[in-house]
Each structure stands twice: as structure tokens, then as C-alpha cells.
Amino acid sequence: MTGQTEGEVHPHGENYGLRAGVLGPLETLAQSVSAMAPSTSASLTIPLVFALAGNATWFVYLLATGATLLVGFCVSRFARLSASPGSLYSYASDTLPPVFGVVAAWGLLLAYIATGASVAGGALYYAGVLSQQFFHWTPPALPTLTVVCLAAAFVAYRDVKLSAELMLWIEIVSVSLILIVLAVMVFRFGFQFDMDQFQLKGVSMEALGPALVLAMFSFVGFESATTLGGEAKEPLKTIPRAVLQCAILAGVFFMLCSYSEVLGFKGESSKLSDSTSPLHLLAAKAGVSLLGVGIDIGAAVAMFACVLACTTAAARVLMRMAHGALLPQMLERTNRRHGTPGVAVAVSAGLMLAATAALSLRGVAGSDMYDWMGSLSVFGFLTAYALVAVALPFARRRWASTRTGSRR
């Protein structure tokens, strides 16, 4: 079969009505990068990790990077052999007993919905930050959340290629602004070795476990390129590459940001863990306050890109679950003109909006939505990751026996 890699048994041939081969390598990578939303982690998640880990923040991200690469290896092995919109659900269900496939499906769906709700809360938070900066006014929560979720649903329904390209440019601009600020800080103050961080001074070992869970939230979604299945060009090559590239690039970025933010806040009257916009403060300290405003705007837009990425991924998991008779058949439908699962997109965005709206009505702030729903999503992702890791040895054994049988 053309396009197969060595050791391949069978790729999933079903496109389920989705457009085949419309996304290039960069657009495929954009799906994973946007689902992770690295620029938002630099602004919101790193301060949360610092509150627990202190000078070990960079070290916690090193551990998280290692764990993510191990998971990425397992996922990439499956992705070399199978291209399906069910992603991790398909990998587990094809190898393990059916009950484990069901658990993986629901865990993955929970993870994408909770992540989308989390970053919708983050978008609400940054909408408030920017409105206060420019207009001294706070936008109402429910209309803001509704606009974010509905806009993401519209783009995800309209065109997966447009969606991927939009996410790609949003993240490129956002991450570039952050790297420019860090480079300007080095230029102005020189490169500094912070021995307190390298020696993990004042770090409580008991706090590293909870901090690691929070740090993993920065990485979850790195595998979401696998949900694109046959929509990617040469999916058996581009998808596994995107998964591993995303894990490596994000790990380096998070360690650089965490080290720089902890160092940059030394001597400041406010703590990193209490800052509403740490990179804005560091930009002002480096003498480029305008870039700080740009980073805040970029973080808000990147939050939207992450909602869009999670909507895209969750919709394809819903569609694959419907094909597996786990959900109603109406979720299988794809739009003939756009080649997207319209009903599944609407359900995905609706669930994200319902979760954030319920929290908003109870008076929960956008930053707390980001924290709470993000923590919930980690457990969904870890469940799916664990099942894929368990499935890999059995799958390798099956692949080996199939190759042996084919040579006879």
C-alpha cells in the first residue's frame, strides 16, 4: 500500500466525510501547538506552578517535558500506523478490550471540552485585563464567553484549513512577542545565572507533585494533531512528527520562560504568583512596555485559538465515537460543502459554553475557570495517555506477528 511506513499493519482508511489531505505539515503542527496554547501558559500557568514550586519551576517543567516526550513516543508510534479522527481513542480501542477503548474515548472528550472551557475562561480574564487597561471597564462575563465559543464554533465549522492557518499565525505572533521581550531583557541586563534556581533553594519536595500536575496542563493537547487523521497530507509522516516536534519545542519554550520569569521578578515588590500579567511587567522592566500590551493582546487572542483547536479536536472525537456506536448517529454527519462535522462542532462549543456559563453564574472569575477546568482536563488527558502507553506493547506484538505471517 502506498504511503505506508515500515512495520505498518493498516492505516484507517475512513475519512468519515472529512476533506482528505488539505492540511500541510505546518498546519498540522498548528493544531497541536494551538491546543497547548504556549503563550497563555507563559502568562497564566507558570505563575501557578511557581506558587507551588518556587525556584524549582524550571525543573518541574523539565520533568514535565520528559514525561510528555515519553507519551509522545507512544502516540507517535501509533500515529505512524493509523490515521483516524478518533486519535487516542482509536489507538486504545484497536488494541485493548472494548471497555478500555470506551474509557479512553470519554477521557479524551472530557479533556478537550475541559481545556476549551478553561481557555474560554482565560479569554474572559484577558478581556477584562485589556478592557481595564484601555477603557477602565470590565466586559460582562456571559456575553464575552458566548462570543468566544460561538466564534470558535463558526471558524471550526467553516473550514478546517482556514482554522489551522488562523491558529498558526496567532501562535507565531504571540510566541514571537514573548521571545522578543526575553531577548531584550538579556540585552539590557546581561545573561545571568540564578544559582538559587539551579540549586532549587527553598524548594519543598512535597510541593513538586502538585506543581508537576499543573505543569502538565501546559502540555496537554500536544497530541491533538492526531485528531486530524486523513485531513493532513501524508498523515502517517506529518502527524507523528508534529506530535514530537510540539513536545520538544514547547518544553524548551516553557523552561526558558519559567527561568526568565522567576529571575525577572527578583527584587520586585510583587510576587510572580500574584501577578495578573507577569510578561507585561517584565516588558516594562526591559523598557518595552508597548510589547507588554502586545503580549496581553496576543494572550487573549491565543486563548481564542486554543478554544478553536479544542473545538476542532473534540468534534472529531465525538464523530469517531458516534461511528463506534458510543453516541447518537447524528454526530457522524459532515457538511458536504465544508467537509466538517457541523453537529459535533456545535455540541463541542455548546458544552464549553455551558460549563463556563454555569461557573460564571456562580460568580467564578475567568482566572479561576482557567485553573479549575485546566486541572480537570489533565486527569482526562492522563487517562487517555496511560491507556495508549499500556496498549503500545500489545500493538507492537501484534504488528510483529503480522509481519512474520506476511513473510511466510
| Backbone dihedral region for residue 54 (phi beyond 0: left; psi -120 to 50: alpha; all else: beta) | left
Range 380-385 average pLDDT: 92
DSSP codes joined into one string, 314-383: HHHHHHHHHHTTSS-GGGG---TTT-S-HHHHHHHHHHHHHHHHHHHHTT--HHHHHHHHHHHHHHHHHH
109-129 tens-digit pLDDT: 999 999 999 999 999 999 998
CA-based max dimension of the chain: 75
Predicted confidence band at 9 (pLDDT cuts at 50, 70, 90)? very low
Other CB atoms within 10 A of residue 21 CB: 12
For 32, 147, 217, 350, 370, the CA distances from 353, given in Å and listed in that order, are: 22, 10, 20, 5, 13
| 363 pLDDT more than 60 | yes
pLDDT, residue 12, reads 42
CB 21 within 8 A of CB 231: yes
pLDDT, residue 252, reads 96
Other CB atoms within 10 A of residue 389 CB: 15
CB 307 within 8 A of CB 120: yes
Range 281-300 average pLDDT: 89
pLDDT, residue 7, reads 37
pLDDT, residue 163, reads 79
Secondary structure of the chain: what % helix, strand, coil (to 5)? 80, 0, 20
Which amino acid is present at 401?
S
260-290 tens-digit pLDDT: 999 998 877 678 888 878 888 889 888 888 8
CB 250 within 8 A of CB 50: no
Question: Lowest-pLDDT range, 191-200, 299-308, 387-396?
Answer: 387-396
DSSP codes joined into one string, 256-309: HHHHHHHHHTTT-SS-GGG-SSHHHHHHHHTT-HHHHHHHHHHHHHHHHHHHHH
- d(CA 402, CA 132) in angstroms, rounded, equals 62
Smallest CA-to-CA distance from 43 within 120, 124, 116, 126 is with 126
b/e 96-114 (16+ beta carbons within 10 angstroms → b): beeeebbbbbbbbbbbbbb
User: Measured between alpha carbons, how far apart are the two ends of the chain, in Å?
Assistant: 19
Q: Which carries the bigger pLDDT value, residue 121 or residue 185? A: 121
Smallest CA-to-CA distance from 193 within 253, 276, 263 is with 263
